[in-house]
Amino acid sequence: MKREHTAAFQKHSDSADRALDALWLGFTGYGRRFEAITRRAADHFAGQNWPGMRRDTVARLDLYQAVVSETCRHVADCLGLRAQDPTVWRTMKRRFSDCIDQRHDSELAATFYNSVNRRMLQTVGIEPELEFVAPASDADAPSRHDSLLFNMDMDDPTAEIIESVLKRFDLPAPYAHLRIDARLCAERIRMALDKHANGRGAFRIEMVTSPFYREMGAYLIGRIVGRDLQLPLVFALGNGDDGLYVDALLLRSEDIRILFSFSHTYFHVLSACPRELVRFLKALMPSKRVAELYIGLGYNKHGKTELYRDLLVHQRVCSLDRFDFSPGQRGMVMIAFNMPQDDLVYKLIRDRFAAPKHATHQQVMGKYEYVFKHDRAGRLVDVQTFENLQIEDCCFAPELLAEIENEAQRTTTIEKNRVILHHVYVERRMMPLDLYLRQADTKTAEAAVIEYGWAIKDLARINIFPGDLLIKNFGVTQLGRVVFYDYDELCPLTDCNFRRLP
């Protein structure tokens, strides 16, 4: 009997080892494929292959779910009947933790493990013993920027120094007019330093070694540091028929925050240590969530992990803050709600849509998926989809809870003092444009209306028609940008037939 028990244990241990190997191969394979797609961005930029860049952007977004599904199949084959055995997963989590402990991307590995684990166990809420909930043990360790950055000391931003900075990057094409660009940039930088530091003192330029690529642009991102000074330094590059050129120089924190806005497509940038890159960017943009920065770099699944951790922290720190209806008119398709002291909005699809809405659940979900993969041009809000999110019912205002129970039964379950959100969209909170205009003075309102017009034009430029142009469907960001966030009637502009009013 003892020998049989030992043999059975050994068999189960072997199957867990094979499953762990399959999971590990899935993650490392994903990393290689992610990097390969990211690396191609430089070639697309060099060859002005914008359709190729767009295809790779979509391919990289699709990659994660494809690899997770493939890994789940391999792990299930290894575990057989024990594929949903918590004991096995408890052991696998411990061993996987040992494997990733010293890795530069341990946080991404833990998120990948969670994705496979939750998919296979069909987890509702969280299972701390079976998945990674807390941040990595070195998440708060001192930053190590040595391999991430290159530095250059200067007393004065001469054209020669800026030219040297621009030449340090491994760019896929030559500059068309490097000396002219360097001279113009040096003049702008000198003016900024005169304003912020009276132009005196020793300064250091710190630049991320890898260029950031997105759509038709490339960005060289860094900062100028000095005594009591930190100034963003971003060279926005274009590629014309004659070669590369500096299209814009960003030296204000507001400008770099817009560059990394939640209304843009994700960057393609090579990074040996994503965590260190996020820390550096966080130092440039302290008000940005860590989650937003991961998402902006293309690690959107780990960004979702960080968003969930933010929710847990907020509920612990602001225990009296409850979900309630978001400000503005109630949606006919969505129930929108948020916690007043938080900057995130949650959206549930209603069971039935009021007239004149005729879309189906699947069509609405399809519109959100369409936006997720489309160029957003700084005018479409990034939305993250959560499944089986579990929150205590005491965290909801009674009227909101009643509406969820009556109007969103297809996407929620309310039981045992908990609310399970089976399919919920999460996005950054903004002030609806209609409310903003009511509260704004004349000058501010005029600027917002002009922004509204530019938003419609920018959407048209990327072949998007909002469908519903009512101002309640647009929001205003903290930086005064107007963006669109109501996607149920959104469609390609080329699908529309516009007629003159009689």
Which stretch of DSSP H or E encloses residue 380? Answer: none
Give the closest residue to 276 by CA, choosing from 167, 376, 385, 146.
146
* Tokens linked to 333: 């398709």
* Cβ contact 397:322 at 8 Å: yes
Annotation marks residue 241 as catalytic: no
Dihedral pair phi/psi, residue 6, rounded to 5°: -65, -45
Count Cβ atoms within 10 A of the Cβ of residue 430 and give its class: 0-12 exposed, 13-18 middle, 19 or more buried: buried
Which stretch of DSSP H or E encloses residue 155? Answer: none
* Active-site hit among 382, 458, 486, 488: 382
CA atoms within 13 A on the CB side of 423: 13
* Tokens linked to 137: 């043990």
Chain Cα centroid distance, residue 288:
11
Beta bridge partners of 221: 234
Beta carbons within 8 Å of 322's beta carbon, 6+ residues apart: 339, 394, 395, 396, 397
The residue behind tokens 């295809």 is: 55
* Cβ contact 158:188 at 8 Å: no
SS3 letters across 401-458: HHHHHHHCCCCEEEECCEEEECCEEEEECCEEHHHHHHHCCHHHHHHHHHHHHHHHHH
CA atoms within 13 A on the CB side of 455: 28
* Cβ contact 390:419 at 8 Å: yes
Beta bridge partners of 249: 235
* Tokens linked to 318: 């602001």
- DSSP letter for each residue of 287-324: TS-HHHHHHHTT-HHHHHHHHHHHHHHHHHHSTT--BE
Catalytic residue list: 382
